[in-house]
Amino acid sequence: MAEKIEFFPLDATYKIDNGKAVIYLYGRTSDGRQISILDSNFEPYFYVIPKDGIDISEKLEKIRIENVNDVSFVAKTETVIKKFLGKEVFAIKVYTNLPSSVPVIKDVIKEWEAIESVHEYDIPFVRRYLIDKNITPLILHQAIGEFANQKSRVAVFKADNIEQVSSDTLHNPKVLAFDIETYSPFDLAIDAEKNPIIMLSFYGENFKKAFVWKRFKTDIDYIEFVDSESELIEKFKEVIESYKPDILTGYFSDGFDLPYIKTRADKYKIKLDIGLDYSELKVKSTRETTVTINGITHLDIFKFIKKVIGGVLETYSYDLNAVASELLGEKKHDVSLADLTNTWDNNHENLEKFCEYNLHDSLLTYNLAVKMLPTIIEMVKIVGIPIYDVNRMGFSQLVEWYIMKQAPQFNEIAPNKPSYDEVQQRRLNTYKGAFVYEPKPGFYKDIVVFDFRSLYPTILSSHNIGTDTINCACCEDIAKATPGDESEKHWFCAKRKGFIPTLIEDLISRRIRIKEIIKQENDEKFAFLDARQNSLKLLANSFYGYLGFFGARWYSIGCARSITAWGRFYIHKVIDKAQKEGFFVLYSDTDSVFLTLDGKSENEAKIFAESINSELPGIMELEYEGFYPSGIFVSAKLSPFGAKKKYALMSQQGTLKIKGFETVRRNWSLIAKDVQEKVLEIILRENDTKKALEYAKNVISDLRNKKIPIEMVVIRTQLQKDILDYAAKGPHVAVAQKLKNKGRSIGPGSIIKYVVTQGNDMIRNRSKLPEDVKEGEYDADYYINNQVIPSVERIFNVLGYKKEDLLEQKEQTKLEGFF
C-alpha cells in the first residue's frame, strides 16, 4: 500500500545495491523527524555527438568491458535533438549499468572515428539526479512509496516518485557546533599522531557541554569529566547520536578538528560510525581536506565565510577571533593557548578557564553558522545543490552549477571542462580589465560617489553577451560592435536572447522583485529575503569573472573582453560628462566615480546622475552612492578579475573606512606582527593617525638602537621536505643545515627559527639560530625594511603618509627631562 510523506531534503548520496545505483536522500519530514528516502529509479548516462549526424547507437549498445571485479556496459541508448552552444545537434544519450561505468566507457569511445565529441560524462551522479528530477534541497517535497526495513539510525522510505509540492523551506535546521583543544607544545608543529585531544565542547540550541579528561574543582555545570582521551572520543559520538543534528559545524573543521579526531580515533580503533546509515566519517585528503558524514551535513563555516562572503568583510584575517568580532561583535576568550600545555602537565587544577574558552569557541562557531545560514540556504535554493557542496564551492563553481542546473531546461548540452593543455593555453589569454582613474594621493573635501548598479551583470544583459550570441552569422552587418581598441571585434546577436543573458536577467529581475517586497515586509521575513537578494547579487556579479575563468565550461574570452570594454566605455562617458559640467573628477575605479563638488551643490550632483541615466541602455543604471565630508585616496591595484579598491573615507558620522591592505603572515617576526596590530588598533579605535605614526616610528627607532629583544625578531618557517631536496635554499633551509650539522634531527615538518644578522652577504648566509645570536646582533635594517615597514606601509599610505615619514629620525629633544 503506497504511502505519502512530505520532507525537506538536506543531503544526498548513492550506493550500489544488486548491481544498481540507489539514491539516498536525507532530510527532515514536515513533522520534524529525520528520514532517509531511497530512489532507485534513476540511471546514469552521458551524451555522444556523432560526426555528420550519423546514428551509431547500435555500435554503442554493444559495448561491454569486463574487469577483474566489475563489468561496465551500455544499458540502452536514445537519440535526441539537443542544442550545443545554441546550435541544434543530433545526439545519442548513452545509458550505462553503473555511474562508475560512465568514465570507463567514455574513455573507450572518445577516440572513435565516428564520434565528434562526448559530453556530460563527469557529472557526479547525485548532482545529475537532483538536476534531472528537479529536486532542490531544503524545499518541501512529497514522496510516494513505502517504508522499508533496513539497518539505519532513521526511518527508511522507498520512493517510487518524488516531487516538489510547495515553496516551503527548511529555515531552521538543527545545528550543533563543536570545537576541540589539543595538547600541543607551541613551538612545534601540530601533530595529531603524537598529541592527544584534551578538551571537546559542543554548543547547540539550549545545549552546551565541555568534556575534559583531567579533573579539577569547578562549579560550572556544563563541564563534564571523563577519564581518558578515548572516552572523550566516545563522548563525541554519543553527543552527536543523541542530539541528532541536521548540521554539524566547526571552524576549519574540514582542515583541523575532524581529521584530528579521526586520527586519534584510529589510534584507539574507535569506529566513528556516526553516519545515519552507520557508515564512518570519511576524511578525504587531497589539496584541501574535506570530511563527510552520511546523512549529517558537515558545515565548515570558516570555508563558507572565506570563500563566499570574505570579499565584503573588512577583516584582514579569517581567524575565528577576527571574523567573530566583525560579524558578531564578539571576541574569543583572552587566554594564552601557549600556556595550556603547561597547565595540563603541571597545573591541572587551573584548567577551568580553558574549558570555558573551549566552550566559547563552539558558541562563536554556532552563532556564526546561524548568522550565515540564511545566505547559505538561499544559495542552496538558487544553485540547487546541497549545503555540504555549496559550503565548499567558490564563485566560479557556484556559477557553473547554476548554469548546469538550468541547461536542460534550455535543452542545452554542457561544454566539457578544459583539458590540462587547454587550461595552460587559456591562462595565457590576458585581457584589459577595468578602467582606473588614478587619484592624486591626498586629502579631499566634499566628495560625492556614484556607482553603476551591478555594472557587469547589467552590461551582460543589456548587450546580450553570451557564448551562443557572440559573433553570430546573422547579425554581422547590423549589430553594434564592442567599443574600444580591441585587437578583435566582437558583436552579439540582435535577433534572439542568449542562454547566459537570459539566466542573468532572471537573477537580476528576481532580485529586483525581492527588493520591492522587502520594502513592504516586516522584520521577521526581512532576514531571509535580504539573504536571498544578496545571494542573487553575489551570483550575478560572478558571471563576468566566470566567463574569463580558465577552468570554466562556458569559458569565453571574447565575452569577458567585451564586458570590460563596454564597462570602460560607460565609465568614460560619466567622467567626460562630469568634467564638461564642471565637477572635479578625483578618482574612478571600474564602476564608481568619485567627484568633488568644487563649489557646486549636492543636488546638482544628483541631477547629473539623472541625466546620465536617461542615456543608458537596458537595465543599466548609475546610482548616487553618497556624500563624504572628507577622504584620502591612494592608487588602486588591478587584477584580471576586477579591481581592488584602496581608499579611506570619513563618513558624516566621523567613522573611518579603510579598504585594500593585507596583513602579515605567521612566518613573520613578532615585532612585525606586533607593530601592525598596535597601529591598526590606534587608527581604528582612537582615530589618531599621528599617534599611530609615532608608535611605528618608536618601534623603528627601538630597532635601530637595538632595544628590541632577540625573541621579537625570530622568524619561524616550516621545513616542507628533506633539506637535500631543496633546489632553492631559503634562509630557513640554510639554518636547518646548521642544526643538522649540530647533530639535531631535522626533517620535513620541523619548524626552523632564525634571526637575520648584520652583514652584506645573502640573507641565508646571515641567518643564524636564535641561540647563537648575541643581543643587538640582529640586522636592524633588514627588520625595518623587510618586516616592520612592509607590515604597516600600506596602512599609512592609505592615510597619506609615506615610507619616508616612517623612516624619518625622531627629534631628539623631549621636555620630559624638565619635569
Partner DNA sequence: GAGCATCGGGG
Partner DNA sequence: GTGTACGATGCTC
Residues in 587-606 that interact with DNA by CB under 7 A:
none
Segment interacting with DNA (CB under 7 A) among 79-87, 282-290, 619-627, 800-808: 282-290
Rounded Cα–Cα distance for residues 40 and 458 (Å): 43
Segment interacting with DNA (CB under 7 A) among 33-41, 218-226, 531-539, 712-720: 712-720
Per CB under 7 A, does 519 bind DNA?
Answer: no
Contacts of 780 (CB under 8 A, 6+ apart): 703, 704, 706, 758
Report the site for DNA in 94-113 (rule: CB under 7 A). 99-100, 102-103
Report the site for DNA in 187-206 (rule: CB under 7 A). 188-190
Give min distance, CB of 179 to DNA, in A: 5
Q: Out of 172, 411, 667, 687, which residue is the one contacting DNA (CB under 7 A)?
A: 667
- Give 376-380's long-range contacts (Cβ < 8 A, gap of 24+): 376/299, 376/304, 377/138, 377/169, 377/170, 377/171, 377/528, 377/531, 378/528, 378/531, 378/532, 378/534, 378/535, 378/536, 379/308, 379/535, 379/538, 379/539, 380/136, 380/137, 380/138
Q: Out of 75, 116, 165, 185, which residue is the one contacting DNA (CB under 7 A)?
A: 185
Report the site for DNA in 595-654 (rule: CB under 7 A). 639
Its sign, for the CA torsion 351, 352, 355, 357, is negative
Give min distance, CB of 753 to DNA, in A: 11
Segment interacting with DNA (CB under 7 A) among 391-399, 457-465, 530-538, 583-591: 391-399
Strands 584-589 and 436-437: antiparallel
Per CB under 7 A, does 284 bind DNA?
Answer: yes
Report the site for DNA in 26-85 (rule: CB under 7 A). 44-46
Which residue's CB is nearer to DNA, number 601 or number 758? 758
Per CB under 7 A, does 468 bind DNA?
Answer: no
Which residue's CB is nearer to DNA, number 140 or number 648? 648
Residue 813: how many other CB atoms lie within 10 Å: 7
Report the site for DNA in 328-347 (rule: CB under 7 A). 337, 340
Contacts of 576 (CB under 8 A, 6+ apart): none
DSSP helix/strand/coil, 145: strand
Report the site for DNA in 768-787 (rule: CB under 7 A). 786
Task: Please report, as a single letter, which amino acid is at residue 482.
Answer: T
Q: Out of 463, 511, 732, 753, which residue is the one contacting DNA (CB under 7 A)?
A: 732
Which residue's CB is nearer to DNA, number 310 or number 582? 310
Per CB under 7 A, does 320 bind DNA?
Answer: yes
Report the site for DNA in 123-142 (rule: CB under 7 A). 123-126, 128
* Angle (deg, nearest 10), helices 125-132 and 395-406: 50
Give min distance, CB of 719 to DNA, in A: 6
Q: Out of 77, 152, 184, 542, which residue is the one contacting DNA (CB under 7 A)?
A: 184
Task: Please report, as a single letter, which amino acid is at residue 376.
Answer: I
Which residue's CB is nearer to DNA, number 87 or number 666? 666
Three cell numbers written together for 170: 527548511
Give min distance, CB of 86 to DNA, in A: 23
Mark residues 234-273: x for contact with DNA by CB under 7 A, - for none: -----------------xx--xx-----------------
Which residue's CB is nearer to DNA, number 474 or number 762? 762
Total residues binding DNA (CB under 7 A): 76
Report the site for DNA in 438-457 (rule: CB under 7 A). none
Three cell numbers written together for 141: 517535497
Using alpha carbons, list the distances in angstroms from residue 104 to 97, 110, 681.
Answer: 11, 10, 58
Segment interacting with DNA (CB under 7 A) among 118-126, 487-495, 516-524, 616-624: 118-126
Nearest to 35 by CA among 286, 387, 272, 276: 276
Report the site for DNA in 552-591 (rule: CB under 7 A). none
Three cell numbers written together for 652: 558624516
Segment interacting with DNA (CB under 7 A) among 142-150, 181-189, 459-467, 579-587: 181-189
Give min distance, CB of 584 to DNA, in A: 31
Per CB under 7 A, does 287 bind DNA?
Answer: yes
Three cell numbers written together for 505: 536577467
Report the site for DNA in 294-313 (rule: CB under 7 A). 302
Task: Please report, as a single letter, which amino acid is at residue 330.
Answer: E
Q: Which residues of 488-512 are buried (b: 16+ CB within 10 A; e: fewer)?
A: eebbbbeeeebbbbebbbebbeebe
C-beta separation of 35 from 5 below 8 A: yes
